[in-house]
A and B are shown apart, each in its own frame.
Chain A
Amino acid sequence: MDSITLVLQFYGLGIIISFLLAVTIKAMLGTIRLFSRDKSEEVQHAD
């Protein structure tokens, strides 16, 4: 029984870390694209 509880904890931790990574990916891509859009808008205004 202990071993089942233990692996469920491992799995829970695995899910949390995996989704943390997925959220980081989304946030990172969003930030990079936001900044690159700002830059391209600045270039257009300058033109």
Chain B
Amino acid sequence: MAHDATHDHHDDHHGAPSNFFVRWCMSTNHKDIGTLYLVFSLLMFFIGGSFAMVIRAELFKPGLQLVQPYFFNEMTTMHALVMIFGAVMPAFVGLGNWMIPLMIGAPDMALPRMNNLSFWILPFAFALLLSTLFLPGGGPAGGWTMYPPLSLQGDSVAYLVFAVHLMGISSIMGAINIIATILNMRAPGMDLLKMPVFVWSWLITAFLLIAVMPVLAGAVTMLLTDKYFGTSFFNAAGGGDPVLFQHIFWFFGHPEVYIMILPAFGLVSEIIPTFARKPIFGYKAMVFAIASIAFLSFIVWAHHMFAVGLPLGGEIFFMYATMLIAVPTGVKVFNWVSTMWGGSMTFETPMLFAIAFVILFTIGGFSGLMLALAPADFQYHDSYFVVAHFHYVLVTGAIFAIIAGTYYWLPKWTGHMYSEFWGKMHFWNSVVWVNVLFFPQHFLGLAGMPRRIPDYNVAFANFNMISSIGGFLFGASQLIFVGVIIHAVWFSKKKALDRVWEGAKGLEWTVPSPAPFHTFELPPVIHDEELAHGHVED
């Protein structure tokens, strides 16, 4: 067991620097940096969420009510940028920072100082991005996809590009750190095919990040030179091609979708076996499915561009390649269901969010299959159907998984149990209102309502009102989450056990709760029965 190493430091709960600035601003400790990432992402979640509230308030009724159309466009653009780069990605990096070293028996991340830099770049990047809202010319309003020439209008292009560069540098450094940690810092005996699925999912995600973030950096660099240095990469009048931007952007953009969902797959693959009290069904298949999805994500980018006028052969290729992703994704969904089948299931909050993930993410997957059909996409393209689709994938997919992971490991981080009652209140409110928010958007899209508009035909009024009510209440429900976290960190009296959940397996549960400041300074002696996947058959 791993106790040999960890128990040496059983009393080392207070090894952290006492000076607040030194501890949090100069930290090289993976747990503290993980906490910083998670707190930052929660803050960004609420900032991005407040932009969504503006959008839903404006769309509550037809006509222009609250904001000017340009400001509305700023809100849709900033909502996406903040949620993608500020909330979802940093949340997964935070979870990875906290848990990967604990799960593989490493004392810390491989590059602790770079880890600190990766995090501290982010607040500056987002301060820069959000500051544009207060500039005289306003912030970026051309959508998060930044298509030229639309995105080149306005004076905030340089701010946006520099902010995206900073986020990209942060992500690439984070990804290199995670790969270096997993490949080099595993405790002896922690073979690759004994690693938890969450660690596998992060390893594959880090490869994706390194492959595509530089492509985004290249694309926005060319936007910058087109705007300020007289080049014509994307300017047809100067011999360039605006569609070229779309190809380059989506070569980044589609794998980016998987960057936001693969770690979620990993999280759910940890949680379901714990609360079903069974090993995951088809461990190797799960790992290979994640790798297959990652590979396929590189050859499907133009399904975002069916309406741009692709050659027929291109449309057919990208249509079938996209539909192929359903195969490894189906493997994962069936394996999660098979893991639950016949298990001794209990329904604590993390499990409820994980089950909701499986069901609701699958709905998002099905609407994705509909969008993959090139002929049908001509109707769905740029409609609210697309908005409904990707919010099912990203909210009930990625964000539900992040919430599930937070509830799952919160007792390990804080040493205290959260309130199960309020956790369940959070779950039921979230799951009801998120469907009220996004399900009607399918109907709006199929009826022809375009996305990114502040006003609409009265025919769409009822579903928009329902969607907005769902949005306000889903947003309000997330305040319960904050309350549960604050209670667990500072007020909960109920101590967490080392192995917080009865059915939990893996090295992270062999260290005390809360996890000491330093863990696994000496590599643990690993016994396969301690691991969730200690006995994988070849």
A and B are interacting partners: no
